[in-house]
Every structure is written in structure tokens, then in C-alpha cells.
Amino acid sequence: MNKAWARGVFFCVVISAVLLVSAVCFAQDPFTKLGRGVANTLTGWVELPKNIYNTSVEDNAFSGLTLGLARGVGMSIVRTGGGLYEIVTFPFPLPQDYQPILQPEYVF
């Protein structure tokens, strides 16, 4: 019984040390980057109606349907691609300190 208890304590100490070291190294920033990447990948299509609306409000309806559509298609591709890039590279601090590659960070 004593050996089993000692092994259990040793296992808990080792697991605690691993968790503490990993928390200090990354401070949960890779998972913020991963979440941002997933959000941008799933909501990249929202750039299309957003840009049509914003261009229509700034200029006129015809500009919204032409220029806004073109901007929306382009930004949808860029936002979805940026999200995929952040998903693939989330364990690495690229760019420095896990900064977002797109501004604003999210489509909203």
C-alpha cells in the first residue's frame, strides 16, 4: 500500500511540474491564436455582406453592388486564408508574441 501511495504522489508532482512549466512558457497565447484562427476561418464569408453594406452606406447602392462585392470577395479570401494560417502555426510565436496578422482581429 505504501508503494502505491508513493507512486501516486510522485505522479501528481510530475504532472504539476509539467503543467506549471508549460503555463509559464506560453501563458495561453497559442490558444488565443488558435481561437482567433478558427473564428476567422469560420466567419470569413461575413466579409462579403459587410463590405457590400459598408460601401453602399459610404458611397451609393451601385458602388456597394460592384466595388463592395469585389472588396467583400477579396477580404473573404484573405480572412479565411489568414485564419487557416493561424490554425496551422498556432504553436509558434509567428508573428512575434502571437500578434494577429489581420486588423481588425475579427470580422465583427
Q: Which residue has the higher pLDDT, 76 or 14?
A: 76
Q: Residue ranges of the domains in the chain?
A: 27-98
Q: Is the dihedral of CA 40, 47, 78, 103 positive or negative?
A: negative
103 phi, psi to nearest 5 deg: -120, 125
User: Residue 67: what pLDDT?
Assistant: 97
pLDDT-derived band of residue 26, with 50, 70 and 90 as boundaries? very low
Percentage of the chain beyond pLDDT 90 is 67
Q: Is the dihedral of CA 46, 80, 73, 97 positive or negative?
A: positive
pLDDT of residue 25: 45
For the chain, what is the mean pLDDT?
85
SS (H, E, C) the chain: CHHHHHHHHHHHHHHHHHHHHHHHHHCCHHHHHHHHHHHHHHHHHHHHHHHHHHHHHHCCHHHHHHHHHHHHHHHHHHHHHHHHHHHHCCCCCCCHHHCCCCCCCCCC
Q: What is the residue type of 108?
A: F
